[in-house]
Amino acid sequence: MRALNASVGLVSAVLLGFSAAAQAQTAEVLHWWTSGGESAALDKVRAAYKAKGGTWKDTPVAGGDNARAAVVNRMIGGKPPTVFMFSIGKQLEELAEQGLVGDVQDAATTGKWDAVLPPLIAKVAKYDGKYIAAPLNIHGENWMFYNTAALEKAKVQVPKTWPEFITAAKALKAAGITPIALGGEPWQERILFNSVLLGVGGRDHYLKVYGQLDDAAMRSATMLEVFKTVAALREFVDEGSPGRKWNIAANMVMKGTAAFQFMGDWAKGELVAAGIEPGTAVGCALAPAKDKGYIMTIDAFAFSNAKDKASREAQKLMANIIMDPAVQIAFNKSKGSIPVRTDVPSDSFDVCARLGMETLKDPKAQLASSGLFGLPSAVSGAIDDAISQFWNTRTMTPEQGRALFIKTIASAK
Amino acid sequence: MMNAQQQPSAVTMPRAESSPAGRRSRLSSSTAARIALIPAALITVVCFYVFVGWTILISMTRSRLLPVYNFVGLDQYKRLFANDRWWTAMENLAIHGTLFILGCTVIGYALAIMLDRITRGESLFRTVFMLPLSMSFIVTGAIWQWLLNPTLGIQDAVRDLGWTDFVFNWIVRPDRAIYTLAIAGIWQQVGLCMALFLAGLRGIDPNIWKATRVDGIPTWRVYTNIITPMLRPVFFSVFVLLSALVLKSFDLVVALTGGGPGFSSDLPARFVVDHILNRQELGLGAAGAFMMLCTIAAVVSPYVYYELRTPRKEA
């Protein structure tokens, strides 16, 4: 009897030990959030994950492109990180097609993700009917940040249309203020371009160009108008722009040496990190536009196709943490974005975020950046090339720019 | 060979057995050498020829994110040749390559002559010129990015001194950015060239100098007509060394201009990496990589030809 007791004790001790080991869920998390504001925001998720007993092994890789490349390389090499930040879209789909991505459908079913996520996001986060990514936030790309003091100095109002903006920019330039703080990297130039595309062309035009790569839309007079407006903006950027990082450009607006920045709302994270309340010294508005639209980008974490139970558990815990309403609020307030959950109260957010959440209530305003429309990265890369070449070649006319845009997309398809 | 033949006699063995044992050890020593070379040969074959073959194979497929083997013939090459960015990169390689190699050689040689002639402070100057070499291209790129930035660096500094019209904004001008790459590259590598030339100059027989002095030949003529032709092998080594650096230059352009403004200072290596890793255009990237190999072959084969021919002539 004693022997039996002893063996039961031993077995349960072993089991306890085993389950304790399983409890210590170690997740290697690969991400590209390395700037001050970004890493402070990620800390909220990290803290929540640790509070639930998980072990977080941090693998930061600076730069989204580099980080995505690192993930793909490690997958091909057979040692993928447990959880990795990734953009939802064609690229993740291709990884899933090759069986390299795991699903978190269990967590999604229990957490009723289908009911709380906006339909567009729920659709793109799934592959083969199962969630392969846990969306963390919605970023708006078509924001315009401005230094209120600089605008007052030049006696201009926050512009509502692009012609108004050009008038305001002339006044600012005359007052010795750089009208647009632009980071001269292709993706930043694309953000400015897309704001003009939506603002001058309108929602339907935007959807035709990026959603369907519609040839007629790209050849239209509207498109020429878009290129004309972009060309007119070239003179409002300072000399130091090429190669500048976005957070340096944000800093110029904070200091008041520049008046406007067209950037995603992640720039708010930099404001918060610098101790500025969004909507005060630095104000925010959606970029000038014909009709309301919110160009969404979604930050999401995806999961590698892990076979061992411990990793699966770690992934499940991570999925639950990411979609936890409290984490969503804490994280998004710090990151400058808005929650993906539609059932989260907006009252504790800043003015800009509330404006974003308000805008998104209209389903027609739910637009997306090119990746979410399912454009292959080769095509979106080619779009970047064309925009960047047009922006930086001052001698290129709007007609030539439009032709280049069409030609580049056609060759990348 | 001499050693292998001498070995049996050194081993204390009965005389009767010495001859077969000697043959056996000679055999085994040559076999051993062959066995020892197998790993190196395998690595060369696999890491070079197999991968080159694989890259060519991939360049004929429609591969995007991952390698897939659905062959499309030369489509990727057609796309590559229709790509403006690729031709900009190739043109930049030519401009950067010429300037970088010429600049390093001319300036490096001039510095070496200067150091050879001065009697004081040589080690100080040598250290100063060699210092940039101790930095990686990434650090060099970062330093020059700040120096060349019109709102932070040289232009701003000179304007602050009072020359408010001073303009030095090459790094932000699409038509000039490629020259800044050459400036930063030369700054870093010139020390190495100087050291090589200096070693060459020091190897010149002092009697030649004495003889020229007796004949009353002016110094500059000695350098142009006598010393420089004598240093031909050194010039050649420098050329080969710099060519290799140019063809694989990737980190400098990434750190200095990021290929910008737009893609005006892009180089083929960056084009290939960008398309393979970031754009999921594995096939197109592989086609670019193979074209790079062809470029390298075109530049290097005269050298290989020269190398293979000369020793035979001497022997």
- Interchain CB distance below 8 Å, A411 and B83: yes
Axis crossing angle, helix A377-392 with helix B84-117, rounded to the nearest 10: 60
Structure tokens that stand for A402 in this block = 């439009």
Query: What DSSP letter does each residue of B279-295 carry, written as one string?
Result: S--HHHHHHHHHHHHHH
In whole angstroms, give the CA distance from residue B177 to residue B170. Answer: 5
In whole angstroms, give the CA distance from residue A159 to residue A7. Answer: 78
- Interchain CB distance below 8 Å, B279 and A378: yes
Count H helices and E strands in chain B, helices first. Answer: 16, 0
In whole angstroms, give the CA distance from residue B68 to residue B282. Answer: 10
Please, are residues A249 and A182 in contact by the beta-carbon 8 Å criterion? yes
Please, are residues A396 and B297 in contact by the beta-carbon 8 Å criterion? no
In whole angstroms, give the CA distance from residue A379 to residue B280. Answer: 10
pLDDT, residue B18, reads 47
Q: Any idea what the Cα angle at residue B144 is, between residues A392 and A235, rounded to 5°?
A: 25
Q: pLDDT-derived band of residue A230, with 50, 70 and 90 as boundaries?
A: very high
Mean pLDDT, rounded, for A171-181: 94
Please, are residues B60 and B72 in contact by the beta-carbon 8 Å criterion? yes
Please, are residues A334 and A269 in contact by the beta-carbon 8 Å criterion? yes
Task: Point out the residue among B152, B257, B275 whose CB comes nearest to the CB of A240.
Answer: B152
DSSP-derived 3-state class of residue A103: coil
Read off the pLDDT of residues B91-128 as tens digits, 9 standing for 90 and up: 999 999 999 999 999 999 999 999 888 878 888 888 88
Mean pLDDT, rounded, for A380-386: 89
pLDDT, residue A130, reads 93
Residue of chain B with shortest Cα separation from A394:
B174
Q: Which residues of A242-281 are buried (b: 16+ CB within 10 A; e: fewer)?
A: bbbebbebbbbbbebbbbbbbbbbbbbbbbbbbeeebbee
Read off the pLDDT of residues B253-307 as tens digits, 9 standing for 90 and up: 988 888 878 888 999 999 998 898 878 888 999 999 999 989 888 877 887 787 7
Task: Point out the residue among B82, B151, B277 whose CB comes nearest to the CB of A240.
Answer: B151
What letter represents residue A71's amino acid? V
Mean pLDDT, rounded, for A359-384: 82
Question: Among all chains, which residue has been given the structure tokens 């033949």?
Answer: B5
- Interchain CB distance below 8 Å, A91 and B65: yes
Q: Give the highest mean pLDDT range of A286-300, B25-39, B238-252.
A: A286-300
**Residue A9: pLDDT over 90:** no
pLDDT, residue A66, reads 84
**Residue A208: pLDDT over 80:** yes
A33: region left, alpha or beta (phi > 0 left; psi from -120 to 50 alpha): beta
Interface test with B, best of A392, A393, A394, A407 (most B CBs within 10 A): A392
Sequence-ordered strand ranges (E) for A181-292: 258-263, 282-286
In whole angstroms, give the CA distance from residue A193 to residue A205. Answer: 14
Structure tokens that stand for A46 in this block = 């990290």
pLDDT, residue A286, reads 94
**Residue B16: pLDDT over 80:** no
**Residue B14: pLDDT over 60:** no
- Interchain CB distance below 8 Å, B260 and A392: yes
- Interchain CB distance below 8 Å, B279 and A388: no
Task: Point out the residue among A72, A98, A243 whose CB comes nearest to the CB of B260.
Answer: A243
Nearest CA among A258, A65, A85 for reference residue B280: A65
Residue of chain B with shortest Cα separation from A393:
B174
- Interchain CB distance below 8 Å, A243 and B83: no
Axis crossing angle, helix A162-174 with helix A186-201, rounded to the nearest 10: 130
Looking at CA atoms only, how far is residue A296 from chain B in angstroms? 21
Distances (CA, A) of B44 to A48, B48, B49, B55: 51, 5, 7, 16
Looking at CA atoms only, how far is residue A272 from chain B in angstroms? 26
In whole angstroms, give the CA distance from residue A108 to residue A30. Answer: 21
Task: Point out the residue among B64, B151, B263 whose CB comes nearest to the CB of A378.
Answer: B64
Distances (CA, A) of A44 to A238, A342, A408: 37, 20, 41
Instruction: Print the SS3 string covering A42-54.
Output: HHHHHHHHHHCCC
Instruction: Tell me which chain B residues have a C-beta less than 8 angstroms from the C-beta of A97.
Output: none
Q: Give the highest mean pLDDT range of A138-147, B157-166, B239-248, B270-279.
A: A138-147
Residue of chain B with shortest Cα separation from A391:
B262
**Residue B231: pLDDT over 80:** yes
DSSP-derived 3-state class of residue B308: helix
Lowest mean pLDDT among A128-132, B4-8, B260-264: B4-8
Please name the residue ranges forming H helices in B171-231.
177-202, 206-215, 219-221, 228-230
Interface test with B, best of A377, A387, A409 (most B CBs within 10 A): A377
Distances (CA, A) of A86 to A54, A304, B175: 21, 11, 36
In angstroms, the first-to-last Cα distance of chain B is: 18
pLDDT, residue A287, reads 94
Q: pLDDT-derived band of residue A284, with 50, 70 and 90 as boundaries?
A: very high
Structure tokens that stand for B81 in this block = 């040749």
Mean pLDDT, rounded, for B160-171: 85
Mean pLDDT, rounded, for A220-244: 93
Q: Structure pTM?
A: 0.80
pLDDT, residue B310, reads 65
Average pLDDT, chain B: 84
Task: Point out the residue among B151, B152, B280 whose CB comes nearest to the CB of A378.
Answer: B280
Structure tokens that stand for B174 in this block = 């699409």
